[in-house]
Structures are given as structure tokens and as C-alpha cells.
A = this chain, B = another copy of it.
Amino acid sequence: MARLNWGMIGGGKGSQIGPAHLLGARADGNFVLAAGALDVDAERGRAYAEELCVAPDRAYADWQEMLEGEKARADRIDLVTVATPNSTHFEITKAFLEAGFNVLCEKPMTMTVEEGEEIVKVARASGKICAVNYCYSAYPMVREMRHMVATGQIGKVRLVVANFSHGHHGDATDADNPRVRWRYDPAMAGVSGQFADCGIHALHMASFVVGDEVRELSADFASTIPSRELEDDAMVNFRMEGGTVGRLWTSSVAIGRQHGFDIQVFGETGGLRWASEQPNQVYYTPVGGRTQIMEKGEGGLSDEAARLSRVAIAHPEGFPLAVANIYVDLAAALKGEAHGAFPVAEDGLRSMAAVHQAVASAKAGGAWVDARPPSLR
């Protein structure tokens, strides 16, 4: 079984997400890094690519050169990962899709709803994969929750509560740090700060686990550090198509929460709880019964959860392997094999619509608004 050729744009030395993609693509031996335009500084990018064993002629100066170079090759890359700054995701993803490449795009997929609609259209026309890296959805126990809900093990879902709150932007004296400041600057971050950054992970998670989409929402945004133009704390209430009530809190000033991404799902006959800091357990409570601790790797889990775990029960698997699971599913899809439900362009579009509509709702004093992109209503 030959390995698939993989390319990456962005993700250069010192980037936060680059190492996770490198490890994710490598972990299971499905992909070989064959091409890259890894850095906005062409020389640095080429040097890093060669350090990563990319052939010199495939260590590109920028994504445009890479697009041209790869298009011309018989052994062109099977998948390209877009891990560049957010505002460039749209044009790169679009260009590669149009040229017939499969793409894994970092979130957010685009900056506007219109761009999102465009990507969905292009992806559909291309017949290629356009995946979006909502990687938390690829944890084995997240897949297990989705499976449990889908197979009716907690009955109809009444309520879902998803939080993604941390405190790493809580130091006002650090607010001018460029690594923090851009996130709250509309020129770079767009219409939303924390909700667009972390909130959409939680929103996707809610949809993914419940197996339903958000129909309408009401939002309350706050900039708790006054110098910030964009929100650093947000609450979004929502309703899903099937009537499920949703609550989503996201914050970057919640000092003491490290990576407080968790979800609780409450149905007619049971409840589920999962937290990203301890991703290998799910707490499941049947109505009227005791809470049970489910473990990744235990007997009797769904094929989906079992397939995405590599080591025995209670040997923890972490975040990089959740990213790796996205690559496992993509490799399977590329080879025409059975695979799980990885997030795609429509998910990226839905997130963008929810972001823009949440901003609108917050500005309108929490008015309820349609959360859906025009094409998916």
C-alpha cells in the first residue's frame, strides 16, 4: 500500500498548529510530506521543508508557486493542508479545489458567509474533498457520543451545553502582545473575536454530537477588557432544527480555565458529558441510574470509536492524535475505503453564518436570528 502524497501551506517553524498537522499526517503512516510552502518568508519556508525531507523542487516559495508546480506533476499531492493565517484560507482553498486538489482547511474556512457559500459551490463542482479541521470531532469518545445519540441511547436530545472558555487572553497588561491583539482587531480577525476563534469549535461539536444543525440563535457579546473592539466573552443560546435547546459559552478571560472545551448532552433517557482536557472518558448517566465512566478502548464501543483508538484502554491519547484521526479518515476517503464523518465545507459555511448572525444578534440586544447560511436554509 503506497503512501499518499501530502502537502502543506503554512504551518511553518514556530507556528502553533503546524506541529499538530505534521504529527497528525505522519502518525499512522498514511501520508508522506511531499510538497510545502510552509512560511510567508520563502527562504525560511524552503529551508524548513527540506529539513522535513521535502525534495528541493517541491519546497515552494509560496502557495501560488506550489499550485502551479503540483498541477504540473504526475505524482501531484493527494491532499493539501491549508494552515495559513485565517484571512487567506478562502483564496487558497478555492484555488486548490478548482485545480482539482483535495483540501484540508484550517478553521475558520473563510472570513465571510459569501466566501463560505463560494467554497461550498466550488467544492461540490470539483468533486474533491474539502475538509475543515474541526479536529475535536475526531476524538474516539466524541465519535462514541455521536454514535450513542444517533442510535437512540439517550433518546431525543432536549438540551446541549457546549463551552469553550479559557483564560489565556485574560491579562490586560498582555493585551498589546501581537499574538493576542490581532484576535480582537477587526482588521485582522473580522467581525468576531473569541466566538469566531473558539466558539465555533463548540458549535460544531454540538451539531456533530447531536446530529442536527442550529436553526436560530440569540447572542450576548462582551469585551471585558475595554480596549478590545471585538468580544472576548460570548454567550449564545440556540435552537436546533429538531428543537434541541442549546447553550454555548465561550471566553478568553476565564483565568484558571486552561482549555475549557466541554460538552454536555441531555436527552430523554440519559445524559453525556465530555471534556477536552480528559478526552478519553465520557460520563454517561441513564435516566434514574448511576453515572458510568466510559473509557476509550473499553469493550463494546462503536466501530467508529474503536477504529480511531491506537493503544489499549486507559492509555491516554491526546490532541495530536485527534488531528491524526482526521487524516486517518481522509486517507480512507482518498483510498475509497470506509471512513467516519469528518467535517466538510458545509460545516465551515455554517460556522461562518453562525458567527455573522451572532454578531448581528448581539448588536440587536440579543434578538433571535436565523443562524443558517442562505443556501442551507
Nearest-Cβ distance from residue A323 to partner chain B, whole angstroms: 9
Assess whether A149 is interfacial by the CB under 8 Å rule: no
Contact B313 A258 (CB under 8 A): yes
Contact B284 A256 (CB under 8 A): yes
**Contact digits for A323-367, partner B, Cβ 8 Å, 1 yes 0 no:** 000000000000000000000000000000000000000000111
Assess whether A277 is interfacial by the CB under 8 Å rule: yes
Nearest-Cβ distance from residue A218 to partner chain B, whole angstroms: 5
Complex-state Cα separation, A293 to B289, whole angstroms: 10
Nearest residue, chain B, Cβ from A270 = B255
Q: Which one, B27, B235, B245, B278, contacts A237 given CB within 8 A? A: B235
Given contacts A310-B23, A316-B277, A316-B278, contact A271 B255 (CB under 8 A): yes
Contact A247 B245 (CB under 8 A): no
Nearest residue, chain B, Cβ from A28 = B23
Nearest-Cβ distance from residue A79 to partner chain B, whole angstroms: 17
Interface residues of A in 1-25 (CB under 8 A from B): 1-3, 16, 19-20, 22-23
Residues in chain B near residue A254, CB distance under 8 A: 159, 161, 264, 266, 271
Assess whether A104 is interfacial by the CB under 8 Å rule: no
Assess whether A321 is interfacial by the CB under 8 Å rule: yes
Complex-state Cα separation, A159 to B249, whole angstroms: 12
Assess whether A26 is interfacial by the CB under 8 Å rule: yes
Residues in chain B near residue A306, CB distance under 8 A: none
Residues in chain B near residue A50, CB distance under 8 A: 1
Contact B235 A256 (CB under 8 A): no
Q: Which one, B22, B159, B314, contacts A233 given CB within 8 A? A: B159
Residues in chain B near residue A251, CB distance under 8 A: 159, 266
Residues in chain B near residue A53, CB distance under 8 A: 1-3, 29
Assess whether A100 is interfacial by the CB under 8 Å rule: no
Assess whether A182 is interfacial by the CB under 8 Å rule: no
Given contacts A249-B161, A268-B172, A311-B319, contact A293 B295 (CB under 8 A): no
Nearest-Cβ distance from residue A141 to partner chain B, whole angstroms: 12
A contacts, CB < 8 Å to B: 1-3, 16, 19-20, 22-23, 26-29, 33, 50-53, 154, 158-159, 161, 166-168, 170-172, 218, 220, 222, 224-225, 233, 235, 237, 245, 247, 249, 251, 253-259, 264, 266-268, 270-273, 276-280, 283-288, 290-295, 298-299, 310-321, 365-368
22 contacts between A and B (CB under 8 A): A1-B53, A22-B29, A158-B253, A166-B314, A170-B266, A170-B271, A171-B288, A218-B218, A224-B266, A235-B235, A235-B237, A256-B271, A256-B284, A257-B264, A258-B295, A259-B314, A259-B315, A276-B316, A288-B299, A291-B293, A310-B320, A316-B316
